[in-house]
Structure formats: structure tokens, C-alpha cells
Amino acid sequence: MNKIIVSLVLFFCVSVSVQAKEMAGITVKDQITSANSEVLKLNGMGLREKLWIDVYVGSLYLAKPSNNVADILSQPNALRIQLDFVYSEVTSKKLIKAWKEGFEKNQSKEKLQTLQSKIDRFYSFFEESAMKTDQYVIDYVPGQGTNVTKNNVLLGNIGGEDFKNALVEIWLGNHPADKKLKKGMLGLK
């Protein structure tokens, strides 16, 4: 009987470890179901650091896992970027400044002009500070656009694959917010 109990406990522990990954005290699932019922797999996760301070854990979920940015941007499937904040507080001003830098470093001036109204709408979702334990989820759903939620509350939707790609490039573009975070989200570390 003891062998059976030990076997069940070991099986349960192994099952749990297969179902989730942990980083900086944040546990994320190995797979999720998107708003359009696509199964998305954890492609990778990384830690956003600023001046040696842990800010958030960024996780990337894809229908078809890949470590190639061009492939990720061209996939017609749903995707999710999940940001789990671990720092005590990141002000709205700092969040918007970081997003702005990410857009500007990875997009041409012409592209930014084309996307400006969508980018401004995205900034409007960050009127409050991000506090430790806050979770932002950026879900792209083909044909519907990009949904942004904070702590499971929908902040809004922004249409267009062009916006989704520009947003994803903040983390995965040629000039990412954090190179280690990019590697982690691409599953390269």
C-alpha cells in the first residue's frame, strides 16, 4: 500500500512539473486555450530586468512554437504575451515610456505614423501603475485583433495584424526591450 501511495505522489509531482514552469516566483502553464479555442503552447519565458531589478516575467505562447522571429510574425495563428509583474510598482508613465521606446526602436517613422492611432489606444490601457502580482495579457486573435487584459479584465481591443506585429517586436524585434528576455521568450535559454 505504501508503494502505491509513493507512486501516486511521484506521479502527481511529475505531472505538475510537466504542466507548469516557474521563474522569479511566477508559475505559468505549459499550454493555454486562446479566445478562438486554439491551443497555444509556451514557447518560452524570460525575466525583464532594468538596472539589475526584476520587473516582470514575460511569457510567449504560440500555436506552433518557434525560435525564429520572422516565422512568429508571419504565423496566421493566435498568440499570447503574458506579463507577470514582480516589482513593487511600475508607474504608468514608465510603462508608456518603455512601450514608446520599443515601438520607436523597432518601427520606421512611416510605420509609426500609420499605426499612431492604434498605438495611442494601446497607451490608454496603461493609465494605472503596474503593481507586484499584476498580470497583463496581450492576446492576438486572427480576424479580431489584439485584446489587452489586466488581471482578467479586458482593457480593450486593437484591430490589425500590423499592430500585433509592431507590438510583438517590442520584445522580439531587432532592438528588444531586453535581450535576455527575448532569448527566454524564444525558448533559447
The CATH number assigned to the domain holding 170 equals 3.50.70.10
Instruction: Pinpoint the alpha helices (H) of the chain.
Output: 2-19, 69-74, 92-106, 109-124, 161-172, 179-185
Mean per-residue pLDDT of the chain: 91
Confidence at residue 7, expressed as pLDDT on a 0 to 100 scale: 43
Q: Which residue has the cell 496566421?
A: 76
Does 16 fall in a domain?
no
Q: pLDDT, tens digit, for every residue of 51-76?
A: 889 999 999 999 999 999 999 999 99
What total of structural domains would you count in the chain? Answer: 1
Q: Which domain holds residue 139?
A: 32-185
Q: Which pTM does this prediction carry?
A: 0.89
Rounded Cα distance between 12 and 16, Å, is: 6
Rounded Cα distance between 64 and 106, Å, is: 24
Q: pLDDT, tens digit, for every residue of 91-130?
A: 999 999 999 999 999 999 999 999 999 999 999 999 999 9
Q: pLDDT, tens digit, for every residue of 23-47?
A: 999 999 999 999 899 999 999 999 9
Whether the predicted pLDDT of 48 surpasses 90: yes
Cβ burial of 116 (10 Å; 0-12, 13-18, 19+) is exposed
Confidence at residue 189, expressed as pLDDT on a 0 to 100 scale: 76
Does 54 fall in a domain?
yes
Closest CA to 101 of 169, 24, 37: 169
Q: pLDDT, tens digit, for every residue of 6-20?
A: 344 434 443 333 468
Does 117 fall in a domain?
yes
Cβ burial of 114 (10 Å; 0-12, 13-18, 19+) is middle
Q: pLDDT, tens digit, for every residue of 150-165?
A: 999 999 999 999 999 9
Confidence at residue 19, expressed as pLDDT on a 0 to 100 scale: 65
Does 10 fall in a domain?
no
